[in-house]
Structure 1
Amino acid sequence: MNTTISDIAQMAGVAKSTVSRYLNGGSVSVKTKQKLERITREAGYVPNTFAQSLKAKRTNLIGTIVPRLDSFAAAQTMTGIDEELRAAGGQMLVYNAGQEREREIEAMHDLARQKVAGIILMPAQVTDEHLRAAEAAGIPVLLVGQGNEALHSLVYDDYQAGLLMGRYVLEKGHRRIAYLGVTEEDEAVGRRRKEGFKQALLECTDCKVFYYESSFKIADARLAAERILDECSPTLIVCATDNIALGVVKTAHVRGLSIPSELSVTGFGGYEVTSIIHPELTTVHFPYFEAGKLAARHMLKLTAGEEVERLTVMDVEMLIRESVDNLNNPSV
């Protein structure tokens, strides 16, 4: 049975008129607002008037939920989304989740209450809570970066990225390697990327690999790099993102290690800064801007009731630069 305004009012111990004011953006006390936010979220409540209003007049506003605002990947994706939406007469409303799952869920409910036509979500992982919030919203929800069969998804070929990187570093003669990844709760970056890398290493019988984990933050990557260098002395550190690679590069410089002659480093992403630092970082390019534009096009089709492929996979490209030493032939 669907939850009604009367049910919400009873659970919160307030009048129906108070709930109605809250749902319509009216004035309520901070304490009451916080209580109603919690109760409506837990109940998965979205006003029926929302769906009705979309049938009567479809809004041109698309909600976009990003993990953090200082991410190159998120910024490029948002730029692509914004450019495509503006060209079609639409607008983007951005929510910063701060890499917190609870804030992602809250943002989905908030955006639904604000009568956006659809939601583009860039999560680190997709949970049952996300799926319940998407169902309660009653509008198209499109995932970018992570896939789930229950929702339309636009993903990168993370497995292929890991495979390309693994084969490349083996080709360069590296046999003592550290892989600095992120939690496998992140299916794309933490799991798929590593699986592709591991597959490449199955083709080598004399390779020793040490697996470590960090967050996406440069500061945490620097600390992880300290442990790696102290514990296993690799010839190369493969980093799950370019941001992590930047942290490793910083630690190497502080220790007086020359890149790549004393330590090789690679990343994933193709961030702009990786072509500016010296030596330039060998990495895998992910088409974030193009993905943003395509995500916007897909969302516009979905809000118009048109068919869109359930899963779209974006190709990646190996960028061979200067940060990997050739151990087969040091003079090359």
Structure 2
Amino acid sequence: MPRNITMDDIAAMAGVTKSTVSRYFNGGSVKESTKQRIQEITREYNYQPNAFARLKARESNVVGVVLPTLNSKITSRVVTSIGRYLREQGYEAIIKDSDHSIDLELKNIQRLITLKVDGILLSAINITDEHRELIRNSPVPVVVLAQDYDEGICVVYDDYGAGKAMGACIGRSHPDRVGYMGVDESDEAVGIARKRGVIDGLRECGVDCIREVSGDYSYESGIGMARELLDQGPLDALICATDRLAFGAYRVLEGHGLRIPEDVSVAGFGGYDESTLLKPELTTLKFDSYGLGYLGAETLLKMIREEPVPKKQIVGYRMIEGKSVRK
């Protein structure tokens, strides 16, 4: 006579996780081949889960989302896209804001794990050794957004390619002196890859005089960096790592009596709606932030269902040509 088995036994025999078996018994989405294996095992052992066991094992249908900040146009697009996709799939999101603090970001990941969410979308400030250890030991799937993560699954922007495209856009006007307003290199995607792309794009156009400064993502930092660059001498062009930094640059250039683009070309990254209100309209590069959120959420739910996913996916961008760059 067949022995009594548990949900753990079924998972082991089917070669899947206990959460997949739980999802099967609770009517969730499971691959057809997996469903057939579980059905064969339950028939062979005459397994019948009791109501309490089914309730206890039920998935939360909640996904955790860790973000560097909520004060960002790009982040709002990503969150909107994540929320829409999850709702369509019967999931909800718990959103944790790290306020650009890596320590708080790590605590947010740990907190979501203790809350037993089904998976985590992590828009990381940076991937440190502590991040790697947390993700490696996480009992639930984790998808990293906007930062390259070689040890796991990630969905990223092409920061280097975008930076190079913008560098070439400015370089084609043959400026003699270009300033770059960036962010701290602790953010590898924007602080390193995007900046490297900009510099390579400029140099391929024969621009060698490039002055760099860095700060944070705030409008005030944009003002401070623009002043610092102008204090070092005249400029023909300013490339800003984000549109918000470009807003600060506009303010400083106006205060110095410099015209855009006749005296100084200005460009940014982000494609914010507000950038169209600037006079002249800002030339900027817009990433597919909605695509990042949608693809990240879709990938995470596939991982929860134990479906195969690509190790790395890259979303696109497009140039928005305003009137702030001299032709």
TM-score by length of 2: 0.80
Tell me the CA shift for residue 158 of structure 1: 0.7
**Deviation digits for residues 205-237 of structure 1, max 9, x if unmatched?**
454111111111110110111111121211111
Contact kept in structure 2, 1:54 and 1:117, CA below 8 Å: no
Counterpart of 1:186, as a letter, is D
Where in structure 2 are there 5+ consecutive unaligned residues? 1-52
One-letter amino acid matched to 1:320? E
Aligned to 1:231: 232
- Relative to structure 1, the CA distance from residue 235 to residue 53 in structure 2 (aligned partners, 3 Å threshold; closer, same or farther) is farther
Percent identity reads 32
In the alignment, which residue of structure 2 is the partner of 1:18? none
Q: Residue 172 of structure 2 contacts residue 205 of structure 2 at CA under 8 Å; is this kept in 1?
A: no
**In the alignment, what sits opposite 2:132?**
131
1:34-183 → structure 2 map (5 Å cutoff):
56-183=57-184
Deviation per CA, 1:93-125: give whole Å up to 9, x if none: 100101000111101111011111011111121
Alignment-derived partner of residue 210 in structure 2: 209
Displacement after TM superposition at 1:53 (Å): 9.6
SS at match of 1:258: coil
What is the alpha-carbon distance in structure 2 between the residues aligned to residue 53 and residue 253 of structure 1?
66
Please tell me the residue identity of whatever aligns with 2:235: P
By how many angstroms is 1:291 displaced? Answer: 1.1
CA distance in 2, matches of 1:67, 1:53: 36
Instruction: Structure 1: state its 5+ residue gaps.
Output: 1-51, 327-332
For these two proteins, the number of residue pairs brought into alignment is 275
- CA deviations over 1:19-71 (Å, ceiling 9, x no partner): xxxxxxxxxxxxxxxxxxxxxxxxxxxxxxxxx99993222101001111111
Q: Residues 151-210 of structure 1: CA distance to partner in whole angstroms, max 9, x if unpaired?
A: 210001111111111111111222210111112221110111111122223324454111
Provide the rounded CA distance (Å) in 2 between the counterparts of 1:205 and 1:93.
Answer: 48
Question: Does the Cα contact within 8 Å between 1:117 and 1:140 map onto a contact in 2?
Answer: yes
Whether 2:247 is the aligned partner of 1:255: answer no
CA distance in 2: counterparts of 1:88 and 1:151, whole angstroms: 24
- Is the Cα–Cα contact under 8 Å of residues 160 and 316 in structure 1 kept in the other structure? no
Measure the CA separation in 2 of the matches of 1:249 and 1:215: 17
Q: Which residue of 2 aligns with 1:190?
A: 191
Contact 2:181 2:212 in 1 (8 A): yes
TM-score, normalization: structure 1? 0.79
* Contact 1:108–1:137 (Cα < 8 Å) also in 2: no
CA distance in 2: counterparts of 1:119 and 1:246, whole angstroms: 33
Specify the structure having the higher radius of gyration (Cα): 2
After superposition, the Cα gap between the structure-2 partners of 1:108 and 1:54, relative to the gap in structure 1 and judged at 3 Å, is farther
Q: Quick one: which amino acid aligns to residue 233 of structure 1?
A: P
Answer whether contact 2:174 2:205 (CA < 8 A) is retained: no
1:244-269 deviations in whole A, cap 9, x for unaligned? 11111121223332222222111011
Structural RMSD (CA): 1.8
Which stretches of structure 1, 4 residues or longer, exceed 4 Å deviation after superposition?
Answer: 52-55
Distance 2:91 2:74 in 1: 22
In the alignment, which residue of structure 1 is the partner of 2:37? none
C-alpha separation in 2, matches of 1:309 and 1:254? 49
Q: How many Å separate the matches in 2 of 1:196 and 1:125?
A: 19
